Amino acid sequence: MSSWTQGYVADIGYTYGYYSELSPIRANLALLYKGNALPQQGTHCELGFGQGMSINMHAAASGDCWYGTDFNPSQVSFAQELAAVSGADVHLSDDSFAEFAQRTDLPQFDSIGLHGIWSWINDDNRAIIVDFVRRKLKVGGQLYISYNTQPGWSAFAPMRHLLTQHADVMGANGQGIVGKIDGAIDFAERLLATKPAFLLANPQVAQKLERIKGQNRQYIAHEYFNLDWEPMHFGDMHQWLSPAKLDFACSAHYNEHIDEVNLTTQQQNFLAEIEDKVFRESTRDFMTNQQFRRDIWIKGARQLGSRDRAEAIRAQRVMLTVAPADVKYQLKGSRGSFNVGDKIYEPIVNYLADYRIRSLAEVEQAVAAQGLDLSYVMKVALALIGMGYLSLVQSDERMLKAQLACEKLNTHILQQVRGNIDYRYLASPVTGAAMLIDRVEMLFLAARQMQLHSQDEWIEFAWKVLESNKQILLKDGKNLETREENLTELAVLAIKFAANKLPVLQALKVVK
């Protein structure tokens, strides 16, 4: 009898992560940048939702109808608890992909998303997903799919195979997946210490292994130790998705739209000579040594004319999601981290510094006197979204519809932050997505929710929770060991939170 897990790691839960690219609204500006007509919003599906943080955040924050499945019942139970709390229009099951695809009660979807699933399933399940997308994605609808990619994995793939082989062959049956992972990493380190020829040919493997050693074991188990694990070339992905009538639209990762931080001028010119879109993407992956793609595909992609595209861009609404003082003008790309120049970005950051919602048409008008046009506004907006400082904003009607579900979900999460689940996100009805909030900030918000209004009360509450969980703060890469050191740092963080982060969260309607 075959296991219901089908070789996928199931004896340790997935992380409580949130993936912003699964939000259909977030894709709008990237799609328009490449000239694509925008899909409708209304009914969505996420396949393999893990602990369900993303699907619950998006269902609550968008006000749309969401369906999803994940085969791990313990994860589905947690996700259903969040759904029951928010009251959002979200329908979650523990069906396998095969079972889910055969259901007759599912609607047609405006979008379908799957994050990090494709690389860790077998070809039979891939075929089921492609057929499901073909049948259930509306014409004009979008597919978001992320996956491990070649050639970026070519050096480490043999080491990953050795790690999993060690866990299978050398790991003890009663050891558990975490013990097997630790044993495999220890073995790999001792192997590399012998200076094998493989290491001499691939010196970056040692650095990769060192990074893995320090990562969360839940993440490592699902990332590297599944039975099925296949990084895929873009051209092969195109072949898989063609039967579903899908056209590649663009990357969902905004940083990849800024060529200057990813490609040299010579490389940009070389790519411009390639007319075929699929082959151009494949070639680009070699230039960037792409390891993980986050792509948007459209069923029946339609290109807008220049006038319609410009008007659609101008109609997009945005909001600054950090305090201007916290903006670091560093943009990361495959070529490294670059200082993009505060003078270039400051006109738009300063205009949006009051956290008011504005259309890109309004932004264009505000900077026109400085000789800056729509193409400038578009490029800066892409970069600011890529850096995490700017978010697209949904309509007032959708915002109002989502408000109550967001309040219920956020209230529940803040009530739970004293426990052992590392919650890091709260839902925003303004953006239709979630906001990243660090551990200490979550504790400050929980204190406010308990009617503790002074910063001294926030600090005392946060320290009691940290101390009860045997946690301490980290500053400048060093642990703060004493109570006094931790309280001093909490005082600094509380002042900064009240001045910078809290006004943003209030503008985003994450908290009152």
Give 36's DSSP letter.
Answer: B
305 in any annotated domain = no
Q: Are residues 128 and 164 in the same domain?
A: no
Q: What is the span of the domain harbouring residue 360?
A: 315-393
Q: Are residues 215 and 236 in the same domain?
A: no
Residues 6+ apart with CB under 8 A from 160: 153, 224, 229
Note the pLDDT of residue 55: 98
Note the pLDDT of residue 187: 84
Q: Are residues 256 and 143 in the same domain?
A: yes
Note the pLDDT of residue 8: 40
Note the pLDDT of residue 165: 82
Question: Which residues of the chain carry a pLDDT beneath 50?
Answer: 1-13
Residue-wise pLDDT for 310-336, tens only, equals: 999 999 999 999 999 999 988 889 998
Note the pLDDT of residue 456: 95
Last residue of one domain, picked from the residues 209, 224, 239 = 224
Structure tokens at 82: 């969040």
3 in any annotated domain = no
What burial letters (b/e) apply to 209-219, b meaning 16+ CB within 10 Å? beebeeeebbe
Q: Are residues 138 and 73 in the same domain?
A: yes
Note the pLDDT of residue 6: 45
Residue with tokens 């912003």: 20
Note the pLDDT of residue 222: 67
- What CATH number has the domain bearing residue 26? 3.40.50.150
Last residue of one domain, picked from the residues 244, 271, 299 = 299
Q: Are residues 496 and 465 in the same domain?
A: yes
Q: Are residues 501 and 478 in the same domain?
A: yes
286 in any annotated domain = yes
- Number of domains the chain contains: 4
Q: Are residues 378 and 421 in the same domain?
A: no
Last residue of one domain, picked from the residues 360, 393, 426 = 393
* Cα(417)–Cα(394) distance, integer angstroms: 28
Q: Are residues 378 and 500 in the same domain?
A: no
4 in any annotated domain = no
Note the pLDDT of residue 172: 63
Note the pLDDT of residue 12: 41
